[in-house]
Structure formats: C-alpha cells, structure tokens
Structure 1
Amino acid sequence: MTLSFNPILNTDSYKTSHFLQYPPGTTRVFSYVESRGGAYDRTLFFGLQAILKQEFLRPVTQENIAEARELLALHGVPFNEEGWRRLIEKHGGLYPLEIRAAPEGSVIPVGNAMMSVVNTDPEFYWLTSYVETALLRVWYPITVGTISWHVRKTIAEALEKTAGAPADELPFKLHDFGSRGVSSYASAALGGLAHLVSFRGTDTLAGIVAARDFYNEPMAGFSIPAAEHSTITAWGREGECDAYANMVAQFGKPGKVFAVVSDSYDIYAAVDHLWGERLRQLVIDSGATLVVRPDSGDPETIVADTLRILGERFGVDINSKGYKVLRHVRVIQGDGVNPESIRKMLSRIVADGFSAANVAFGMGGALLQRLDRDTQKFAYKASAAEVNGVWRDVYKDPVTDHGKRSKRGLLGLVAGPHYATVPVDGERFQPIGGGVNLLRPVYRNGALLVDETLAEIRARAAAAE
C-alpha cells in the first residue's frame, strides 16, 4: 500500500478547527513532550531526527492545499485555507516553528520535558498544536529504545558477573526479530533503528536502511546465516540430521557463526543425539561456532536444559570468573522472549554455573510491537500561550485523574545532580534561575539545526549507564 503524503493531512481531524478556538490576541503557543511515567523510570530519547528529516523538511504546496480543501470539506471539518496560503506566501511552505529537544541518546527520568515546540511567527500560533500528531509519534522509537536500553542493563549485569570479556559480548546479546510482527515497514524502520542504539544484532533490515538515511551510519547492525523451520522440515523428519549437516556444510567455515533452529520435532533428541553425537565431530572440525535455537517450551527451562546437554556433549571451559563456557557451540532463544523472561533465563543460567556469554536472545513482538503510547504515558501538551503580548500559563488538572495534570509555563530541562524541568524565559528560552537549557534548538523555520550520527548517539546512551 502506497499513500501520498500531504503535510496538511498529517494531523488529527479535530485539529483542523483549532485555529478558530484560541483567544483573540494569541500570538504564540508553547508546548512540550514528556513521559509521565510507565513501565520504566527512565526513557531513552531517540528518533526525533528521523521524523524531522522525513516529514518536516518538505514544504507545503498549492497542490497540498487543493487536496486538503476538497477532502476536509467532504470530511465535515473546517479548513484554514487562508492560513496555509499565508504559510506559502511568507515562509515558502516551511513551518515557522522552533523545536528544541534533549540530545538524542540521553536517558531522562520520567516526568521531565524532553522536547518543546513554539511558533516563531505570531501569525501561526495555531501551528504548534497542529503538528502534535506527527511529532508525538516520537513516543514509538523512544519506547522501543527504552525497552532495549533497559534490557541491555539486565544483560550487562549478568555478563559482568559471569563473562570474561563482558564488553565484547554485550552488543550482540539482544537480537531484533521483530520486523514481521509490526504494523508497517515504517514501524520496522523506526523501531528497528531505536533498538540499534543499544545493540548491534538485528534481522530488521529496515532499521539498517533507516540508520543510513537518517543518522549517517553506513552499517548499524549485523546478522548471521540462520535456519528457519521450513528449511529444516523440508528435508522430512527422517532427513532432520541431513538438514543439520547441510547447514554445517554451507556455513560452517573457520571463525564463522551460524544458527540452526532445532526444535522442529524433538529438541532434546536433536541436541543430545544429532548435534551431540552424529554431527559433533563435523561441527568441531568445521572451526565455526554453531548457535542452537531451541525455542519451543518454557524459555527458562528449555535454555537451561539445552545448555546442560550441549555442555555434556561438547565440553566446557571454566572462565576467569569461575563460570562454564561451551566449546564450539552457543544458544539463542527466540520464542517467549521479553524483558521479564530474559531476567528469569539469566538467573537460571547463572544459578546453573553457566556464563551468560553462552546465550543470546531474539526478541520480536515484545521489542517492536507489544507497546503503545501509554507504556511510558507520553503526552504533548500546551503549557503557555502569549496573548496580547503577555505569556500565560496553560494547563489541565482533571479532578477525576490528577495523574493527567499537565505542566504549566515555559519549560526547559537542566542537569545537575539530577535532571529537572525548570521555568525558562520567553525570548531565549533559557532557565530563569540560571544554567543552560538542555533542550537545544534542533529545527527552526524549516531547517534542521542538528544532524547527529548514530555513533554519537550510541556513545551518549552507553555513557548513561
């Protein structure tokens, strides 16, 4: 499915009437974005640069206006045709907005403003709210990136305890299996890219493309040859061992790594007798590392059982920290993987005396799809408006749900011992009490002001640990 892109229609229907609803004399509206709470106490800010490059650098055209006029009339909502025509006349169709944001890769406690938006031309006070729909979609890469970053911390703790070279192991311990489980190619691209802030392993090619297009990264992630059930079961049950032998023949080269799903029929028989007996010497002689994917069953139990059997068949070494490391083989679990099951699997692995270096995890739906805007309770809210030359606070505080109380006034973000959201002035948007607003200008009047590489963002996120 291919949809034409019209910036005027990249909003919610009800926003088309909002230009008629602000008080007379309104000249500027200031809004902010925050995570109000949720599953994690800190969020990894990421993805705004991609959204700005994709949707905010192209001008509105007369053709866009004509299409919107026709569609919105049939849709039954008002259309600010004069306002959009003035946008083209005065600004060449580009948005007279200033967007400020925390540096991408920053890990920010919930409850803080991580981004602000204000119009730079008083004639376009209505535009700050109009672009909310497009800009608030940043919740998705932030939430994916947040999940991935917190899982990284979980895995890092296990590796620090049990692995000889934890820093070398960590980047490839969580692999993105989520491309087929998301709603669209665009979601795969943006979510897959967000995962790559914290890890290097992925099967989501769309994320690799997005890293090139939006973050100047020639190659953001890596994968290995791997079997799926069809390439094993096509040999028939009686040919299961031949299917595995073919994988070794095709990909078992010295120093290489390849993965084989091994639960098509009987994972225990496959690991114990096929891999562990009939093909054992073939694997060893290949000089490659075989990664067995057990998948089916309770993840905590099946990973532990697979490690135990492989250890008995291929042998183990005891590393410098006193934990067992498999020879010639490793394990990847790709079914039932989520942040909680990863914690449980790692706890069991360590309790059984195995290094976390033996295992990687493939996470799909739980990484890219099993989340929504309320996972971290994201909101884009107006907090101030300039009316007749005077800034006034704008906020809501529902008596039925004080958790939805919004912030008021002109806001910025500062760092000290801790991040804090603070009042800023109405001209330079710098903290009234002194210091520097960490929400730096990244977009102004149609121009991208900051264009960072994925490498810079990765370094920032890693330093936050």
Structure 2
Amino acid sequence: MQCLNNLLLNTDSYKASHWLQYPPGTDATFFYVESRGGVYDRTVFFGLQAILKEYLGKPISHADIDEARDLYAAHGEPFNEAGWRYIVDHHGGLLPLRIRAVPEGTVVPTHQALVTIESTDPQAYWVPSYVETLLLRLWYPVTVATISWHAKQTIRQFLERTSDDPEGQLPFKLHDFGARGVSSAESAALGGVAHLVNFMGTDTVAGLLAARAYYHEAMAGYSIPAAEHSTITSWGREHEVDAYRNMLRQFAKPGAIVAVVSDSYDIFHAIREHWGQTLREEVIASGATVVIRPDSGDPVDVVHQCLSLLDEAFGHTVNGKGYKVLNHVRVIQGDGINPTSIRAILERATSYGYATDNLAFGMGGALLQRLDRDTQKFALKCSAARVNGEWIDVYKDPVTDKGKASKRGRMTLLRHREYGHFKTVPVPAEAATLEDLARPAGYDDAMVTVWENGRLLCDWRFDEVRALANAARL
C-alpha cells in the first residue's frame, strides 16, 4: 500500500509526543527486545534484517516531514518537526541508531535479550522509542519461525524413529499453505520466508520473493503440481475418475510427484475404487509418486484410514527400521494441521507400523495467522537512559503482574562457547562501550552490531540462517 511508505507515520500516534516526556538533560536511550515466555520455551530469531532493509534503509526527506507535520496537526498530536529536520540535515535522513542482535537463525531460550537498540546522537535520543512500533513487528517472523521449528523437531523425532533417511525426508515434510489465510501480502512474505528457514516446501510465493529480496536466496522453496477441488469437481461427480486420470496424464511422469485432492465426494470410495482399482495400473506405469490429499474429517482417523486403504491397493515394503513404506503413493494432510495434530497423526500412523516417509503435512492458518504478539509474549522496552551525563536504569515492575517486569540497564547477550548456554548480562553504568564489559569465563558475545546510522553491517545469507536453525535441537 503506497500510502504507508512514510517512515515517520509508521508508528503509534502517541509516539509523536514522547520526545517531550523524557527528563531534562536526557541525551541517550537504550531499548531491548525479548520474548517473556509464551507457548514455547525457545524462539528462532529471524526477520529483523528484512524489516531493516525494507524500512530503515531509505532516508527520510523534508517532504516526509511535511506530510507527518500536517497529519499530526490535524490528528491532535504534537510533532518534533525540528528534530526530524535535524536528522535530514545532519544525517542525510538516516536514523542515528545502533542495533545489535543475535545472528538470524539462532535458537534462543525465552527471557533473554534478542535485540538492543540505542541512540547514537544526543540530539536524537528519542528516536529508538519512535521506531518501537515498527521494530517490534519482528515478533511475527520470529513466532512463525518458532512454530515451524518446533513442528520440525516433532517430525524429526518420528522420522528418526521410523525412516531410513530422516534428514533427506525432513525438509519437505511441512508445506506452507498459508498465503490466503493471512491479513496482508506483507504477512505472507514475512511469514512465508520465516517458515522456509526450517523447511523447503511452500505454496506461498511471497515468501520466495522475500528470501530473494532480503536474504540473497535465488530460490528458497519448491512446490509440485497439485489439484484443488474446483479442478476436480468441474468434471462432475460422475466423471470424478476422469478428473484424476487427467492429473496423471498431465503431470505423472517418471520421478515426478503430483498431489490430488480426493475428498470432494467420498475419499474412501475414491481410494478403493478410483485410485485402487480403475487407475491403479496407470499410477504404477507412470513412474510418478501420487500424493493423495484428504481435506475433511478428523485428521487422525482419516489419515490412518487413507494409509490403510492405499496399502491394500498398492502394497508396501518394509524399511530397515521395520516400518511400512507404501509403493507409488503417499498422503498429504492439509486440513486441521497444527503442532498438536501433527504429533497425533504421526503417533497413530507409527503405532500401526507406517513410516513417517508416507506422510507430509500442509499448514495454513495455524502457521501464518493463528498467532499474535502474546504467543511468545514479545516486548520492546526502554532499559536505560543517560541523564545529565550519567546512565540510569529504566524499568517497570508492576505489582499487578510480575510477568511484565522489565530488564534494567544497558545489556548484552552472551553465550557459553562450550555448552551453548545464553546469559543476558548488564553493561556497567560506567562503561563507555561494550568493549569495556568484563565477560565471565567461557562466554563470548552472542550479539553483533547489525545496523548503525543507516548502514547494514551484517548481511545474513539464507543458507547461513538455515544452518543455524537446523543445528539446534530440542
């Protein structure tokens, strides 16, 4: 939406008045981002680079200031016109900020600082607060990457138990079906690319574009030809088998994979009669793998029944771990999929002797939309301010909710080089820079400076992000 391109208006209304609210003598502020808990006990850090490149890399202009001044005047808020014009005149319109963060793809326990934001010009000490609204939206790609990563750990566990090739199978076991269920194209892009940190299957094209634009990845994910209900039901119920035969003739080549939704009328009849009898020899002769997609009913029961019926029709081999792998066919379940149902489906299939190789999942709303900032309790808070030349702790500690108590002072994140433990540690008030911090034995900096005064200092490639996330285990 072109009307949203002014950085000065990418904030909350009350932020426009905050430069007047700090104590006299304030000339620097320090903020941090953390997950204060939530559904999962660790998060996959991802998405800050995309936000920085998209929004902070473009200088603001006097025309932007004119637009913001006029809007806030009509809106009823004061506006720091002189402060913003100073930034244009003295910094070329680039915000005087220093942003430090853990490398993207790092899996970090909750309650640790993930990002710090600090002002770098005494005349612009108020800028970190102004961009809180924008920067805290990184909760979204972090949370999507986190949900996807935890689902990956579940699937990995079952593959390691039942498959001869768990690492080869894993990247394509959870497919992103979420593009149509999100609130915006930007959500599809950020959420879609966040999922691709963990998997390589997607139908969310916007995620591919985000990986290319922000993380140097020419092609981050893959898909296959697949039927939807309209391309099956347009043949009419009496010609359902012809719709399936058309899918085979169009796409079923040796080594190919084609997915066919088969529950338009009766999934069990479709498998027994159409796939298991009428088209059985055509499926085998094609040399392709045909993936049957049920899309209704109880996922655990329906998937189990589909596996059993396909087994009756096409048979199976037994792999090296003693589990059944279907011949020529597979099942993908994309309805009702979430981290809980994935585990339940795999538990049922495994208990009946079927390898996880037989199954893939498509996840839509539960992956990209059924989440909010409180899923992982994300917060961006001020923790320190320099007033009259001295750093003071800034914090809140509400008696009504100790879970919202914030961290105090300047800080950084350390990681134990041998054990991998993370520790958020304070930077002494007298320390001029982080280089003055005495680190505990065995610990190294877990954060790096990624952005300073409009310049990107760390430009992560997508393969680097994926490698970090994949190396972590529950």
Question: Is the Cα–Cα contact under 8 Å of residues 188 and 368 in structure 2 kept in the other structure?
Answer: yes
1:443 aligned partner: 451
1:405-430 per-residue CA deviation (whole Å, 9 max, x = no partner) reads 00001111011231111012443225
Task: Show the counterpart of 1:11.
Answer: 11
State whether residues 257 and 288 of structure 1, in contact with CA within 8 Å, keep that contact through their aligned partners in structure 2: yes
- Find the residue that maps to 1:54 and give its secondary structure: helix
Determine which of 429, 443, 455 is the counterpart of 2:434: 429
Contact 2:175 2:201 in 1 (8 A): yes
* Residue 71 in structure 1 maps to residue 71 in structure 2: yes
1:132 to partner: Cα distance: 0.5
Judge conservation of contact 1:290–1:328 (CA < 8 Å) in 2: yes
Specify the code of the residue in structure 1 equivalent to 2:221.
G
Gaps of 5+ in 1: none
Residue 224 of structure 1, CA deviation: 0.1
Which residue identity lines up with residue 469 of structure 2 in the other structure? Answer: A
Q: List structure 1 runs of 4+ shifted beyond 6 angstroms.
A: none
SS at structure 2 position matched to 1:374 = helix
Q: Secondary structure at the match of 1:290?
A: strand
Q: 2:293 & 2:90 partners in 1: Cα distance?
A: 60
What residue in structure 2 maps to residue 398 of structure 1?
398
AA in 2 matched with 1:154: T
In structure 2, C-alpha distance between the alignment counterparts of 1:241 and 1:322, rounded to whole Å: 34
Distance in 2 (alpha carbons) for counterparts of 1:273 and 1:424: 70
Q: In the TM superposition, what are the counterparts of 1:311-390 in structure 2 within 5 Å?
A: 311-390=311-390
2:217, 2:462 within 8 Å by CA — same for their partners in 1?
Answer: yes
- Which whole-Å CA distance do the structure 2 matches of 1:424 and 1:228 have between them? 56
Counterparts of 2:228 and 2:387 in 1: how far apart (Å)?
A: 62
| Aligned-partner residue type, residue 303 of structure 1 | V
Query: Contact conserved, 1:27 with 1:122, CA < 8 A, in 2?
Result: yes
Q: 1:88 and 1:149 mapped to 2: Cα distance?
A: 41
Which residue identity is paired with 2:466? Answer: R
Mapped contact 1:44–1:142 kept (Cα < 8 A): yes
* Aligned positions of 1:23-34 closer than 5 A: 23-34=23-34
- Is the aligned partner of 1:221 residue 2:221? yes
Secondary structure class of the residue paired with 1:349: helix
Question: What CA distance in whole angstroms lies between the structure 1 residues aligned with 2:111 and 2:137?
Answer: 18
String of CA shifts for 1:185-237, please: whole Å, max 9, x gaps: 10000000000000000000000000000000010000000000000000000
Give the equivalent residue in structure 1 for 2:51. Answer: 51
Matched ranges for 1:129-168 at <5 A = 129-168=129-168
Q: Distance in 1 between matches of 2:163 and 2:347?
A: 14
Residue 179 of structure 1 pairs with residue 179 of structure 2: yes
Say how many residue pairs are matched: 465
Instruction: Tell whether the 8 Å contact from 1:423 to 1:432 is kept in structure 2 after alignment.
Output: no
Q: Deviations over 1:376-421 (max 9, x none)?
A: 0000000011111110000000011111000001111011231111
- CA distance in structure 2 between the aligned counterparts of 1:399 and 1:429, rounded to whole angstroms: 32
Query: Aligned letter for 2:471?
Result: A
Moved more, 431-440 or 449-458: 431-440
Q: Counterparts of 2:294 and 2:9 in 1: how far apart (Å)? A: 47
- Whole-angstrom distance in 1 between the partners of 2:174 and 2:315: 25
* Mapped partners of 2:101, 2:228: distance in 1: 42
Cα distance in 1 for partners of 2:408, 2:298 equals 48
Looking at structure 2, the residues matched to 372 and 324 of structure 1 have their Cα atoms a distance apart, in angstroms, of 39
C-alpha distance in structure 2 between counterparts of 1:460 and 1:436, whole Å:
17
Q: Which residue of 1 aligns with 2:239?
A: 239
Question: What is the rounded CA distance, in whole Å, between the counterparts of 1:225 and 1:206 in structure 2?
Answer: 18
Q: Could you tell me how far 1:433 is from its partner in structure 2?
A: 3.7
Q: In the alignment, which residue of structure 2 is the partner of 1:461?
A: 469
Name the CA distance, whole Å, in 1 between partners of 2:390 and 2:190: 39
Identity across the alignment (%): 61
> SS of the residue aligned with 1:118?
strand
Query: Residue type matched to 1:38 in 2?
Result: G
Match of 1:420 in 2: 423
The separation in 2 between residues aligned to 1:3 and 1:301, in whole angstroms, is 48
The 2-side partners of 1:348 and 1:110 are apart by 32
Give the whole-Å Cα distance in 1 for the aligned partners of 2:316 and 2:50. Answer: 45
Aligned residues of 2:4 and 2:10 also touching (Cα < 8 A): no
**Counterpart residue number, 1:262:** 262
For the aligned residue pairs, the C-alpha RMSD in angstroms reads 0.9
Amino acid at match of 1:421: T
Cα offset, 1:439, TM superposition? 1.6
AA paired with 1:438?
A: A
Q: Offset of 1:432 from its aligned partner?
A: 3.6
Counterpart for residue 207 of structure 2: 207
- Three-state SS of the structure 1 residue aligned to 2:3 is coil
What residue identity is the alignment partner of 1:424? V
Distance 2:446 2:455 in 1: 20
Q: Who is 1:408 aligned against?
A: 408
For residues 322-370 of structure 1, the C-alpha deviation after alignment (integer angstroms, 9 at most, x for no partner) is 0000000000000000000000000001001000010000000000000
> Do the aligned residues in 2 keep the contact of 1:429 with 1:437 (CA within 8 Å)?
no
Unaligned runs of 5+ in 2: none
The residue identity in structure 1 corresponding to 2:445 is N
Partner-residue secondary structure (3-state), 2:444: coil
Report the CA distance between 1:89 and its aligned residue.
1.2
With the length of structure 1 as denominator, give the TM-score of the two structures.
0.99
Shift of 1:461: 0.6
1:312, 1:110 → 2: CA distance?
A: 47
Map of 1:191 onto structure 2: 191
TM-score, normalization: structure 2?
A: 0.97
Q: What is the CA–CA distance in structure 2 between the aligned matches of 1:424 and 1:246, rounded to whole Å?
A: 66
Maintained 8 Å contact 2:44/2:107: yes
Larger deviation: 408-417 or 191-200? 408-417
Partner amino acid, structure 1, of 2:84: W
Distance in 2 between residues matched to 1:26 and 1:125, nearest whole Å: 7
More displaced 10-residue stretch of structure 1: 308-317 or 408-417: 408-417
Match of 2:203, SS state, is coil
Tell me, in whole angstroms, the C-alpha distance in 2 between the residues paired with 1:393 and 1:341. Answer: 45
C-alpha contact (below 8 Å) 1:331/1:360 kept by paired residues: yes
Q: 1:128: Cα distance to partner?
A: 1.0
Rounded Cα–Cα distance in structure 1 between residues aligned with 2:12 and 2:114? 23
Residue equivalent to 2:114: 114
